[in-house]
Amino acid sequence: MVGSCNVDLVVRGATLPRPGETIVGEDVVRLPGGKGANQAVAAATLGAQVSLLAAVGRDETGEFMIASLRAHGVDVGHVQRSDRPTGTAFITLDQNGQNQIVVAPGANADLSLEGIDLGGFDVVVAQMEISATVVADAANRSKRFILNVAPAGPVAPAVLNQCAVVIANEIEIELFDVAQLADCIVTLGARGAVHYQKGREVLRVGAPRVEVVDTVGAGDVFCAAYAVQLARHASADNALRFAVTAGALATRGVGAQGALPTEKEVHEWLARAS
How many other C-beta atoms can be found within 10 angstroms of the C-beta atom of residue 142?
A: 21
Distance CA 50, CA 77 (A): 11
By C-alpha distance, which of 172, 175, 166 is closest to 189? 172
In 3-state terms, the chain is what percent helix, strand and coil (to 5)?
35, 25, 40
Q: Dihedral of CA 16/22/24/27: which sign?
A: positive
Q: How far is CA 113 from CA 1, 17, 98, 141, in A?
A: 12, 39, 34, 10
Q: Are strands 87-93 and 99-104 parallel, antiparallel or unpaired?
A: antiparallel
Q: Is 177 a catalytic residue?
A: no
236-249 and 218-231 are packed helices; what angle lies between their axes, rounded to 10 degrees? 150
Q: Which of 110, 137, 214, 220 is catalytic?
A: 220
Q: Dihedral of CA 42/107/131/136: which sign?
A: negative
Distance CA 9, CA 62 (A): 14
Active site residues: 220
